[in-house]
Structure 1
Amino acid sequence: MVIDNAGFHSTKNIEVPDNICLLRIPPYNPELNPCEQVWQYMKNRFKNKRFETMESLKQWLHNMVCEMKAETIKSITGNHHYLDAFITTFKI
């Protein structure tokens, strides 16, 4: 699991299961956070759109997420910084 070390994302009393590894990335580096990359992709498709209601905005977001293909997500999040950190962490 990738965590970005933002102060408000931390906790002291957490038990991480053995089958989960935390990959900590430096704070203030959204380009290294795969989630931020997906949000940026979505925001680029969101700009200049106008929604009449909050419900129509929610529906648009829901459709956008549901229609994203695995290949699209891989292409968005597969930057070399993330892949290098992943390979180093897991010794692949």
Structure 2
Amino acid sequence: MPDNIILLFQPPHSPQLNPIEQVWQYTKRRLRWLLPKNLDDLRAALYAEIGKLTKSIIASIARRQYILEALSVASF
């Protein structure tokens, strides 16, 4: 294993530690009051909301303190 790779073991079934789950939670919160008339309206709203996600928004949503702590311990 290369020295610049840090393994971070996660407990099984821990969606709160999975960054994509955090992104989906953010997206669902943004759409929670939407009342689509049909599946096509919901799909269009979802695509529009996902289209608004920038790299910085995703990074801020998915940032986890345990990752930052592991990197600081490893001197990165």
1:82 deviates by 3.6
- Answering whether residue 68 of structure 2 is matched by residue 75 of structure 1, we say no
Instruction: Please name the residue that 1:50 is paired with.
Output: 35
> Unmatched 5+ residue regions in structure 2?
1-6
| CA gap 1:24/1:56 in 2 versus in 1, 3 angstroms | farther
Normalising by structure 2, we get a TM-score of 0.72
Kindly report the root-mean-square deviation, in angstroms, between the aligned alpha carbons of the 2 structures: 2.3
> Unmatched 5+ residue regions in structure 1?
1-21
Q: What percentage of aligned pairs have identical amino acids? A: 33
Structure-1 separation of matches of 2:22 and 2:30: 13
* SS, match of residue 68 in structure 1: coil
1:48 deviates by 2.1
1:83 deviates by 3.6
- Answering whether residue 26 of structure 2 is matched by residue 41 of structure 1, we say yes
Higher relative contact order, chain-length normalized (CA < 8 Å, sep 6+):
2
Normalising by structure 1, we get a TM-score of 0.61
1:81 deviates by 2.2
Query: Aligned pairs, how many?
Result: 69
Structure (1/2) with the larger strand percentage: 1
| CA gap 1:77/1:40 in 2 versus in 1, 3 angstroms | same
